[in-house]
A = this chain, B = another copy of it.
Amino acid sequence: MNLTIGDVAKRIGLPAKTIRYYEEIGLVDPLRDSNGYRVFRDSDLHKLTFLGRARALGFTINDCRTLLALYEDETRASSDVKAVAQKHLADIEAKITDLQAMHATLSHLAQECSGDGRPDCPILKGLSGG
């Protein structure tokens, strides 16, 4: 018995919709049964697992495409993989820095806000440029 897309979805932990989408954009290419249902080979399952993990680490679909190509290429240089990873690590670090700055500013404002029934509010003052 072939695994249907629902079975694969459960096994991999990705929604069926997402798997169809990955096929549509050419990340996987499952076979078809005579009834039109998708047929997933082991290689498809491996790719989908790979994609699920890469996406969970925050790689873009474009990065995933690159990484998947490297994954499939037995003659790859690990430096190519590492370069993609390090670029992504730098992006993550930049995002964390941004978020921490936002958090610092906003928590400072919130701390000064009494948060009661009165209209006076340092948060709004801060936002309006006060």
Chain A residues near B (Cβ < 8 Å):
46, 49-50, 53-54, 56-58, 67, 70-71, 73-79, 81-83, 85-86, 88-89, 92-93, 95-96, 99-100, 102-103, 105-107, 109-110, 113-121, 123-124, 126-129
Closest residue of chain B to A103, judged by CB? B92
Q: Does the CB pair A50–B115 fall under 8 Å?
A: no
CB<8 Å pairs between A and B, sample of 10 = A50-B128, A53-B126, A57-B102, A67-B127, A77-B116, A79-B115, A89-B107, A92-B103, A92-B106, A96-B96
Question: Chain B residues near A117 (CB, 8 Å)?
Answer: 77-79
Apart from A76-B121, A78-B113, A96-B96, 9 more pairs, CB < 8 Å = A53-B127, A54-B127, A67-B127, A77-B117, A78-B116, A78-B121, A79-B115, A82-B121, A95-B95
